Structure 1
Amino acid sequence: MDNPKISAEQQFADKAEKYRDEAVFAVGNDLTWMVECIPLTGSEKLLDIGAGAGHTALAFATQVAEVYGLDVTPAMVEVATKLAADRGVKNATFQVGDVERLPFPDQFFDIVTCRLAAHHFVDIQQSFKEITRVLKPGGSFLLVDHYAPEEEEQDHFINRLDQLRDPSHVREYKLSEWRSFFEENQLEYREVKHWHISLQFDNWVERSATPEDTRQKLIQMLQQATAKQKELFQIELDQTGHPKSFSLLSVLIQGVKS
């Protein structure tokens, strides 16, 4: 990709309402796990990065004082703003912005969240520097994302699959890589929860408007997956060999700023 940031904006610009309604983003135990991860007093100021249609920010809005949602795609910001208004949420503000240049002062937030978005960050090192900069000492960064297995063959398989389907996908990192990013930025690292996100194949490619020729490549990848990959990513094919579903390895990580 010549410019992944433009690609990410283009990828989601005409799909914002799909991501508002898609169950993977709109509901899920991970939202509850995130909210329950930290004892909240109601006085916190929270930033949600890669806010998308606003689901994470709105899940926290009733529990904290102020919520800011940031997304690179204007259409997502519009959808999130409308969703907040429809739900009568008054303390959530959504705006266009880039994680590499957060438009907020140092030590401004008690909590920063990022759910299912960090695999689109172009410069992960700079992103972590900015997250740490705006976070107060003792504050928490809560990350939910997919992760790649430590084994290179499986790492390559799942990242190739995601990049084919969505060119704005940068990388699913290994847990060892996530740990390094956190610890290099003085964020005490804790893996709170691990689980599988199950995806229906046809819905997955439809949501991203993946071209037909690319869909065929994805089908072939899943059909030709090794026995280990089929077990690891829970790949299911129907009686004709067409992919029914597969899963992504997912994690909730808490990083407390020292």
Structure 2
Amino acid sequence: MKYKYTYEESLHWMRSQPEHSELVELCYLDTDNLVAAKRFTSSEEFAEIIRLLKLKNSSKQLKILDLGCGSGIASYAFASLGHEVTAVDPDQSEDVGLGATSRLSYVVHNGSISTVEAFAENLPFADSTFDIVYARQALHHFSDLYKGLSECSRVLKANGLLLATREHVISDENQLKEFLDNHILHQLHGGENAHTLKNYISALQHASFRNIKTFAPFDNVINHFPESNADVKGRLYQSLQKKLGKVIVSILIKLPPLENYYRQHLSRSCNFPGRLYSFLCLK
């Protein structure tokens, strides 16, 4: 199938449609990427990323690879914590690619951002270069998932961390077709994809990653954003209140196992094409 537009042209179209204004903001696709980067830096999602990567009390400057950096929102967030960020993307766009990320490098005062044009399947870095490889909604764009993840493993230091977030998951080829047929930007420029959960995990194992932790759609706010943790807890409260009343629920709602069970229930019930999963693992 031949597509009419580039990704940048598709995004310009979407920004021009008032009905998509909320989606543009939620996807951090603002015209001003510094505004988007600051919003991401202060988000509940990035706070959870900091927790998972144990960056909160880290005084050491880490070398972080932001793979598939797009307009640089995560690069800015990591650099603002004082880390040395290498932002990689195959797109040089001044709006949605390395040009946009490069602009952010001039407004970061703690750490640093450098940009490199490359595909995941052929990273131009020496073995064992990075402490962390971070990829937000990037794995499903790899032309070869297995080769791309093998490169991620190669450039990570021993015991380095890979955090891949918000990856589209499908159950089968029928769900893949449904997902692509209903993806707004994919209809304009192509480039979207999704894999089965089994395929993601197989590719991670093949790349010699270990201690693979998989986060289902409602296990973590990273996946269920823009619904917040408070929103999920509120849903649980409302559901139980109808059955048990306010007094009992006000006690039960404080028990972590109850919320964990509820999140597991929501994740098991979540089977739509393109549902979001995240992965954290060690080299």
TM-score relative to the length of structure 1? 0.68
**Greater strand share, 1 or 2?**
1
Task: Give 1:254's aligned residue.
Answer: 280
Alpha-carbon distance in structure 2 between the residues aligned to 1:89 and 1:107: 24
Task: Give 2:230's aligned residue.
Answer: none
Shift of 1:124: 1.5
Letter matched to residue 78 of structure 2? F
Letter matched to residue 195 of structure 2? Y
Alpha-carbon distance in structure 1 between the residues aligned to 2:111 and 2:81: 12
Task: Give 2:200's aligned residue.
Answer: 178
| Residues 117-156 of structure 1 aligned to structure 2 (within 5 Å) | 117-156=138-177
Task: Give 2:265's aligned residue.
Answer: none
Aligned residues: 207
Alpha-carbon distance in structure 2 between the residues aligned to 1:101 and 1:94: 15
Q: Is 153-162 or 182-191 further displaced after alignment?
A: 153-162
Change in Cα spacing, 1:255 to 1:115, as seen in structure 2 (3 Å) is same
Task: Give 1:241's aligned residue.
Answer: none
Change in Cα spacing, 1:128 to 1:168, as seen in structure 2 (3 Å) is same
Identity of aligned residues (%): 23
Change in Cα spacing, 1:149 to 1:123, as seen in structure 2 (3 Å) is closer
Could you list the per-position Cα deviations for residues 115-170 of structure 1 after superposition, in whole angstroms to 9, with x for gaps in the alignment? Answer: 0122221122211111111001100111013322325533431134334354122x
Change in Cα spacing, 1:166 to 1:101, as seen in structure 2 (3 Å) is same
Task: Give 2:190's aligned residue.
Answer: 167
Matched, 1:52 2:74: no
Shift of 1:69: 0.3
Task: Give 2:48's aligned residue.
Answer: 33
Q: Is 44-53 or 145-154 further displaced after alignment?
A: 145-154
Q: Which runs of 4 or more aligned residues in structure 1 lie more than 6 Å from their structure 2 counterparts after TM superposition?
A: none
Letter matched to residue 175 of structure 2? Q
Q: Equivalent residue of 1:36, what SS? A: helix
Shift of 1:197: 5.3
Task: Give 1:92's aligned residue.
Answer: 113
Letter matched to residue 35 of structure 1? I
Shift of 1:106: 0.2
Alpha-carbon distance in structure 1 between the residues aligned to 2:176 and 2:92: 32
Change in Cα spacing, 1:36 to 1:175, as seen in structure 2 (3 Å) is same
Preserved CA contact (<8 Å) 2:80 2:111: no
Matched, 1:12 2:8: yes
Q: Equivalent residue of 1:105, what SS? A: coil
Alpha-carbon distance in structure 2 between the residues aligned to 1:193 and 1:39: 20
Task: Give 2:209's aligned residue.
Answer: 187
Change in Cα spacing, 1:60 to 1:98, as seen in structure 2 (3 Å) is same
Task: Give 2:27's aligned residue.
Answer: 24
Preserved CA contact (<8 Å) 2:92 2:117: yes
Any unmatched runs of 5+ in structure 2?
16-23, 29-35, 218-222, 227-269
Preserved CA contact (<8 Å) 1:45 1:111: yes
Alpha-carbon distance in structure 1 between the residues aligned to 2:121 and 2:180: 22
Alpha-carbon distance in structure 2 between the residues aligned to 1:29 and 1:175: 25
Shift of 1:82: 1.0
Alpha-carbon distance in structure 2 between the residues aligned to 1:197 and 1:172: 19
Shift of 1:24: 1.7
TM-score relative to the length of structure 2? 0.63
Any unmatched runs of 5+ in structure 1?
199-230, 234-246
Q: Is 132-141 or 156-165 further displaced after alignment?
A: 156-165
Letter matched to residue 23 of structure 1? L
Q: Equivalent residue of 1:156, what SS? A: helix
**Greater helix share, 1 or 2?**
2
Alpha-carbon distance in structure 1 between the residues aligned to 2:107 and 2:82: 19
Alpha-carbon distance in structure 2 between the residues aligned to 1:13 and 1:184: 36
Task: Give 1:65's aligned residue.
Answer: 83
